[in-house]
Amino acid sequence: MRPIRLTLQAFGPFAGKEVINFEQTFDVGLFGIYGPTGAGKTSIFDGLCFALFGQSSGAQRDGKDFRSDHAPLDMLTEVELVFDLGDKRYVVRRIPAQERLAKKGGKTTQQLHQAWLFDASGLNTQDITDANRGKAIAEKKTSVVEQTISELLGYSADQFRQIILLPQGQFRKVLDANTKDRSQILRQLFDVSLYEKLQDKLKEEAKALHEKVNTARIRRDDRLMQSGHETFEALELAIKEAHEQVKKSQAALDAAKKNHSTKRDTLEKAKSNDARFVELEKAKADLITLQANQSDIDARKADLEKVRRAESLLGLEAGLSRAKLDHKEASQRQIEAKVNLEKAEKANASAKVKLTDIQKQTSEIQALSETQNQLNALLNIQKSTISLATDLKTKTDQRKTSHAQANAAKQEQAALKTHLKELSTSAKNAIERGKTIANIEKEIERLNTEIAANSVYENAQKQTQNLEAKFKSSQANHLASKAKLENAQTELDVAEQALANVQALHLASKLKHGDNCPVCGSKDHPKLAKGDASSQGLDTAFRAAEKAYKIAGEEERKANDALIADKANYNSSLELFSKLEKPKTESDALKSALHDHSIELKKLNDLPTLEAINQKISLIEREEIEVSNRLETILVEHEKNQLAHNTAQSRYDDAIAKIPTDYQTVGKLEKELETNKSKIDGFKKELENAEISERETASILSNAQTSLNDKQETENRALKRVNSETANFESALIEAKLDEASFQAAKLLFPKRDAISKAVENHSAALISVKTRIEQAKLATQNVQREDLTILQHQVSTAETEVDHASNILNTVTQRQLHLKTTLESVQKATQELNKLNAEYAPLGEMSDLTNGTNPYKLKLVDFAIAAMYDDVLDAANQRLGPMTDSRFELRREAGGQGGNASRGLDTLIFDAHTESLRATSSLSGGEGFLASLALALGLSDVVQQQSGGVRLDAIFIDEGFGSLDSAALDLALQTLHTLADNNRLVGIISHVEEVKRTIPNGFSIEPSTAGSHIKLRTTTY
């Protein structure tokens, strides 16, 4: 952000309008703002900060505090800043909350805080005026303006005061802050949300996994205790004993089953024969039952027939229902028409009575007509006095002229008021239009957000696909390198074994009986190695294989590292992509909607603004005041004419003394004539209205009668339809051989129709089946002797009892064995699960503890990230501080250490090359502290601009601090600021120091006076 022009009106110590054109300092880059204490130097910085963010440079004053005590009551306090951002130019204007004069009455009223933001790209500074500030981006709504400016600049008011505008009294705040306070400051400057999310995610996942570990441990211990054994060994011994019991019980059960099988086969053969006789008896019984149910089945068949006939009548029944409903509605409309007719009859009768009453007043009107004739005769007598009448007419004309002028002025005044009212309506419409514009801008913002989200989704999808391809390529590469490593290992093993064999032969050839073996120390050598001891080339082959194995191992490691990295990148990208919501709307559709809204917004913005309408209102209000003054002059002249007229009237009255006293007053006769005429005309008008009312009510009565006739006809047609539908339905009932009751009863059977039909079908099928069974059973019982089953059953039962007893014993011991085995497997599985969870939790828990502050430095991950960023800041700051202090001082971050509860890692120390020791920054003198603070502020500014690609820091402003420097330190500090200015950055400083003024002559001087301060340009020729 580069300021171009700052305009302050009735702001702080400035009573009028003061303009600071920063373009006049662009050539030098470094400029000063000078003036005595209280002149208003800091107010310039206040104006910059207030224009952008609605706050003072020190964040200690409200907008209402900016009102100048020297300013006249009719001048509003306001600030306007023209600034460039890259190749764009903007204008921001603010009016703080304040008391101002009301437009009428001379009283004061409350002015609300308002703000405007304009896009002035393409306009030269001199072309930006009150009438042309560019295209409005946001109007009056301060929150919208502040949000838009923060988004454009890329930083907030707090960040502005820390990296661009360094306010008086807060210069050393960042330098001397402790770890906690500095962390909060740096969090505002750098985006560390990613690290916060990561440490929170690790903490949550570790907590959840730790709970699983505890649950698994409790589950394992519970299962062991439930088995009734305290150790694994006791449980295994019990399983062996149960196994022996199962073997013995199984042998006893096999013997009992063999005996039971013999008895059962005999019984089953007898039962098979007996079952044939039972089946014959049962089939005959079933046939009797089915024959007994035949009458019920016949009744159900009759019901099905009724249902079929009733279904054919449903359409006629529905038509009859509709006809009855239509008749009911027609009857209701007929009743309403009768009510309307009665009302019309009453109204017509009332009108006739009123007409008759008026017609009875004819005699009174005739008397008024005779009085009118008499008054006209007296009027003729008045006119006989011609000369006086002429003079009176002249005076009357003069009075009328002034009266007409007054009326014209009043009409002009009324027209102006009407115009004001119209403009007020236009202002209200402009306000509503502003709301519409705000809604459209909000929709445009939403569309831009969706378009951006679509772009993020599409880019993430493309990136994930690319990373997947890279991951697959790494997989193939790793498999190839792994195979190569395995081949190299095999070749190395072969070469090593060959070399070892040759070395053994060489050793054996030198050993003699009784000599100590150099390998094992034995003097007996029963099996000496034999073979060809030639080793030519084996050592070279071994070394070559060993070298090839190392190369293959390094290639496999690199391939594996690449695979791990590519897999992590792919999984990370895939996870992020999976969390992205798939766009609901295509980008082309969104862009089309954005284009339409932009066109609509442009049309609305082309209409007159509220500010232009208010200016026109002010102009019309001034015109109204001028007309009011002119009207007052005309009324004075009219009073003079009225007096002359009264004199002429008096002379005229003396001349017409013959006229009765009651009519000698000027205008009395005419007034009486007018009154009588008014009465006569009123009677005629009343008579005319009564006749009209009588005719209108008669017409309404006629229409009501016609409407009633129509409704009666409709009701008759509806009734005929009901009768017709009824006849059709009754005729169909007769044809279907049903009456109303049987029809309704058949309708109740509709839901049961399928069940009834199924029952009839089942009965027929069962009848056929049972007859077949009887024939089959008769054939099966021919030539078969039926035996007594009781004895045979008793023998089987006895055998079964023996089997059950043996089986129960076996089941008991088997279940115990199974239970013990299941328990052992369960305990082993729970132990494996516990071990697995412990293995999973160990690295995750450790990582969670480390990232959430459980480490020797008590630093969370986010603070560690901030510390790394702060190291960059200190590096950048030391590049400034070294030259400014002749390489004496260097800012260093205290890494922290063990012990204590306070967070560490962001504390700043100063390294003093003179003493070769570290010490606290608070130990620096005022001048040393100023230089260190200046270097740190410049370092912050450099790093913020580097890490935030969209943030442009084209200017920096410093308020006070140079008075604490000696001449040498001052020179070094100013050289640093000159370097900044040489790098195309605008640098402004406030200072009382004369050396600063001489070194930096260019800038602005603040000259105070009893009527307020003024700003003047300083140059090298000042």
Token readout for 981 is 């200015």
Same fold? 2-157, 192-203+860-1005: yes
Q: In angstroms, rounded to a whole number, what is the distance separating the alpha carbons of residues 850 and 856?
A: 9
Which of 627, 614, 611, 609 lies closest to 417 in space, CA to CA? Answer: 627
The DSSP call for residue 77 is -
Q: Mark 194-210 as b/e (b = at least 16 C-beta within 10 Å).
A: ebeeebbebbeebeebe
Q: Which residues are within 8 A (CB) of 899 and not within 5 positions of it... i.e. 6 or more apart?
A: none
Whether residue 438 contacts residue 571, with contact meaning beta carbons closer than 8 Å, is answered with no
Mean pLDDT (whole number) for 479-503: 79
* Predicted local distance difference test score (pLDDT) of residue 519: 47
CA count, 13 A, side-chain hemisphere, 169: 5
Residue 932 CA from chain centroid, whole number: 43
If residue 908 lies in a helix (H) or strand (E), which one and from where to where?
strand 907-912
Q: Which residues are within 8 A (CB) of 777 and not within 5 positions of it... i.e. 6 or more apart?
A: 276, 277, 279, 280, 283
DSSP secondary structure string, 445-509? HHHHHHHHHHHHHHHHHHHHHHHHHHHHHHHHHHHHHHHHHHHHHHHHHHHHHHHHHHHHHHHHH
Whether residue 93 contacts residue 79, with contact meaning beta carbons closer than 8 Å, is answered with yes
Token readout for 6 is 């700052």
pLDDT of residue 305 exceeding 80: no
More confident residue, 169 or 713: 713
Q: Mark 361-375 as b/e (b = at least 16 C-beta within 10 Å).
A: eeeeeeeeeeebeeb
CA count, 13 A, side-chain hemisphere, 705: 8
914-917-920 Cα angle (round to 5): 110
If residue 178 lies in a helix (H) or strand (E), which one and from where to where?
none
Q: Which residues are within 8 A (CB) of 859 and not within 5 positions of it... i.e. 6 or more apart?
A: 853, 867, 896, 903, 904, 905
Q: In angstroms, rounded to a whole number, what is the distance separating the alpha carbons of residues 934 and 391?
A: 95
Confidence class for position 62, pLDDT limits 50, 70, 90: low
10 Å Cβ neighbour count for 212? 15
Q: In angstroms, rounded to a whole number, what is the distance separating the alpha carbons of residues 491 and 546?
A: 9
* Predicted local distance difference test score (pLDDT) of residue 63: 59
Mean pLDDT (whole number) for 491-512: 65
Q: What is the pLDDT of residues 25-61, one digit of tens each?
A: 888 888 889 888 888 888 888 898 899 988 876 655 6
Q: In angstroms, rounded to a whole number, what is the distance separating the alpha carbons of residues 177 and 892?
A: 14
* Predicted local distance difference test score (pLDDT) of residue 410: 87
Name the most confidently modeled range: 4-18, 489-503, 531-545. Answer: 4-18
* Predicted local distance difference test score (pLDDT) of residue 64: 67
Q: In angstroms, rounded to a whole number, what is the distance separating the alpha carbons of residues 318 and 42?
A: 91
Mean pLDDT (whole number) for 313-334: 85
**Size of the chain, expressed as the number of residues it contains:** 1022
**Stretch among 10-24, 373-387, 779-793, 824-838 having the lowest mean pLDDT:** 373-387
Whether residue 69 contacts residue 61, with contact meaning beta carbons closer than 8 Å, is answered with no
Q: In angstroms, rounded to a whole number, what is the distance separating the alpha carbons of residues 673 and 671?
A: 5
Q: Side chain identity at 796, as an amino acid letter?
A: V
461-466-470 Cα angle (round to 5): 145
Burial class (CB in 10 A: 0-12, 13-18, 19+), 625: exposed
* Predicted local distance difference test score (pLDDT) of residue 83: 93
989, β-bridge pairs: 32, 958
The DSSP call for residue 511 is -
Q: What is the pLDDT of residues 215-259, one digit of tens each?
A: 888 777 777 777 777 777 777 788 888 888 888 888 888 888 888
* Predicted local distance difference test score (pLDDT) of residue 1022: 43
Q: In angstroms, rounded to a whole number, what is the distance separating the alpha carbons of residues 102 and 113?
A: 16
Mean pLDDT (whole number) for 443-462: 85
**Stretch among 415-419, 519-523, 703-707, 855-859 having the lowest mean pLDDT:** 519-523
Mean pLDDT (whole number) for 116-131: 93
* Predicted local distance difference test score (pLDDT) of residue 306: 78
Confidence class for position 186, pLDDT limits 50, 70, 90: confident
3-state secondary structure of 855: coil
* Predicted local distance difference test score (pLDDT) of residue 382: 67
Which of 940, 905, 892 lies closest to 185 in space, CA to CA? Answer: 940
Confidence class for position 7, pLDDT limits 50, 70, 90: very high
pLDDT of residue 495 exceeding 90: no
Percent of the chain with pLDDT strictly greater than 90: 8
89, β-bridge pairs: 84
pLDDT of residue 128 exceeding 90: yes
Q: In angstroms, rounded to a whole number, what is the distance separating the alpha carbons of residues 725 and 340?
A: 32
Token readout for 867 is 């510390």
If residue 663 lies in a helix (H) or strand (E), which one and from where to where?
none
* Predicted local distance difference test score (pLDDT) of residue 385: 66
**Mode of pairing for the β-strands spanning 98-101 and 108-111:** antiparallel
139, β-bridge pairs: 116
Whether residue 907 contacts residue 894, with contact meaning beta carbons closer than 8 Å, is answered with yes
Q: What is the pLDDT of residues 612-656, one digit of tens each?
A: 888 888 888 888 888 888 888 888 888 888 888 888 888 777 776
C-alpha distance from residue 528 to each of 204, 432, 751, 765 (Å): 68, 111, 104, 99
Instruction: Tell me how far apart the 2 most distant CA atoms of the chain are, in Å.
Output: 189
C-alpha distance from residue 261 to each of 247, 255, 804 (Å): 21, 10, 13
Q: What is the pLDDT of residues 896-923, one digit of tens each?
A: 544 444 455 678 899 999 998 999 888 8
1018, β-bridge pairs: 1003
Q: Which residues are within 8 A (CB) of 220 and not within 5 positions of it... i.e. 6 or more apart?
A: 827, 830, 831, 833, 834
If residue 692 lies in a helix (H) or strand (E), which one and from where to where?
helix 668-735
Mean pLDDT (whole number) for 205-222: 82
The DSSP call for residue 126 is G
Whether residue 957 contacts residue 165, with contact meaning beta carbons closer than 8 Å, is answered with yes
CATH architecture of structural domain 192-203+860-1005: 3-Layer(aba) Sandwich (3.40)
**pTM for this entry:** 0.41
Q: Which residues are within 8 A (CB) of 893 and not within 5 positions of it... i.e. 6 or more apart?
A: 867, 870, 871, 874, 905, 906, 907, 908, 909
Alpha helices in 580-667 (DSSP H): 587-606, 610-655
Token readout for 716 is 């008759």
- The torsion angles phi and psi of 580, rounded to 5 degrees, stand at -75, 140
If residue 810 lies in a helix (H) or strand (E), which one and from where to where?
helix 789-851
Whether residue 468 contacts residue 570, with contact meaning beta carbons closer than 8 Å, is answered with yes
Q: In angstroms, rounded to a whole number, what is the distance separating the alpha carbons of residues 844 and 825?
A: 29
The DSSP call for residue 952 is -
Token readout for 926 is 């005022």
Q: What is the pLDDT of residues 355-386, one digit of tens each?
A: 888 777 777 777 777 787 877 877 777 666 65
As a whole number, the mean pLDDT across the chain is 81
- The torsion angles phi and psi of 533, rounded to 5 degrees, stand at -90, 10
Q: Mark 219-235 as b/e (b = at least 16 C-beta within 10 Å).
A: ebeebbeebebeeeeeb
CATH superfamily, domain 2-157, is P-loop containing nucleotide triphosphate hydrolases (3.40.50.300)
pLDDT of residue 983 exceeding 80: no
More confident residue, 487 or 186: 487
Whether residue 285 contacts residue 710, with contact meaning beta carbons closer than 8 Å, is answered with no
* Predicted local distance difference test score (pLDDT) of residue 901: 46
Q: Mark 646-675 as b/e (b = at least 16 C-beta within 10 Å).
A: eebbeebbeebeebeeebbebeebeebbee
Q: In angstroms, rounded to a whole number, what is the distance separating the alpha carbons of residues 95 and 101?
A: 14
**Mode of pairing for the β-strands spanning 2-11 and 907-912:** unpaired
Residue tagged 């709307």 (tokens) = 585
Q: Side chain identity at 980, as an amino acid letter?
A: L
- The torsion angles phi and psi of 306, rounded to 5 degrees, stand at -65, -40
* Predicted local distance difference test score (pLDDT) of residue 500: 61
Burial class (CB in 10 A: 0-12, 13-18, 19+), 799: buried
Mean pLDDT (whole number) for 399-425: 88
324-327-329 Cα angle (round to 5): 115
Domain boundaries, the chain: 2-157, 192-203+860-1005
